[in-house]
Amino acid sequence: MALRPIISLPDSRLRLVSKPVTTFDHEMLALFDDMLETMYEAPGIGLAAIQLGIDKRMVTLDLAKRDDSPPQPLFLVNPEIVWSSPELSTYEEGCLSIPDFYEDVERPARVRVRWQDRQGAVQEMEADGLLATALQHEIDHINGVLFIDHISRLKRERVIRKFAKAARREGGREPDAR
């Protein structure tokens, strides 16, 4: 396992729609291990491969409390939301690719997700609460969507400008115009 750098706004790769995984091999398993280690170190509760600059439809999550619970990682390959409830819930979200910015986001309260596990077997589950929010957040990532796309245009433009300015100071690139 190895720590990998997490890309951040305004990196335009965050807007890529990730490609489906078709090969379940040692390389994919090693990437999942690196994603998990990177996510724990950050620290975060979810990470999509695109946040490492790798456009594969891979997500890892772990909502277990680090202090008093054993890890409970969830690995999702090619995840998709197949149903969303009409009821909504609001959670304060943050993102490892948009450090130190948090905002309330309204999303469906419950979702049903279908994915393949590390061996390629199809799985499905219904989730609510924080798990539903985290699944939607990470699946958004592999579809080129960021949580700031769910907030007001004014707040979104403000945070994009802030990160673009910081990137210019560090010699980085301009953001995607979205």
pLDDT at 171: 76
Whether 1 is covered by a domain: the verdict is no
Give the domain extent around 73: 12-169
User: Considering the entire predicted model, what is its pTM?
Assistant: 0.93
Mind listing the pLDDT tens digit for each residue in 141-156? Answer: 999 999 999 999 999 9
Whether 3 is covered by a domain: the verdict is no
Measure the CA–CA gap between 33 and 114, rounded to whole angstroms.
Answer: 21
Examine the pLDDT at 177 and tell me if it is beyond 70: no
Average pLDDT over residues 13-40: 97
Beta strands (DSSP E) in the chain are 46-48, 58-61, 74-84, 88-95, 98-108, 110-116, 122-128
Whether 5 is covered by a domain: the verdict is no
Whether 175 is covered by a domain: the verdict is no
Strand order in the sheet with 58-61: 46-48, 58-61, 74-84, 110-116, 122-128
Residue tagged active-site, from 80, 138, 157, 170: 138
Examine the pLDDT at 123 and tell me if it is beyond 50: yes
pLDDT at 175: 45
Q: Is 138 a catalytic residue?
A: yes
Whether 132 is covered by a domain: the verdict is yes
Mean pLDDT of the chain: 94
Q: CA distances (Å), 144 to each of 60, 74, 138, in order?
A: 16, 21, 10
Mind listing the pLDDT tens digit for each residue in 37-96? Answer: 999 999 999 999 999 999 999 999 999 977 778 999 999 999 999 999 999 999 999 999
CB 147 within 8 A of CB 153: no
Whether 6 is covered by a domain: the verdict is no
Examine the pLDDT at 172 and tell me if it is beyond 90: no
The CATH number given to whatever domain includes residue 59 is: 3.90.45.10
Structural domain count, the chain: 1
Whether 86 is covered by a domain: the verdict is yes
The SS3 of residue 157 is helix
- Percentage of residues in the chain with pLDDT exceeding 90? 90
Examine the pLDDT at 178 and tell me if it is beyond 70: no
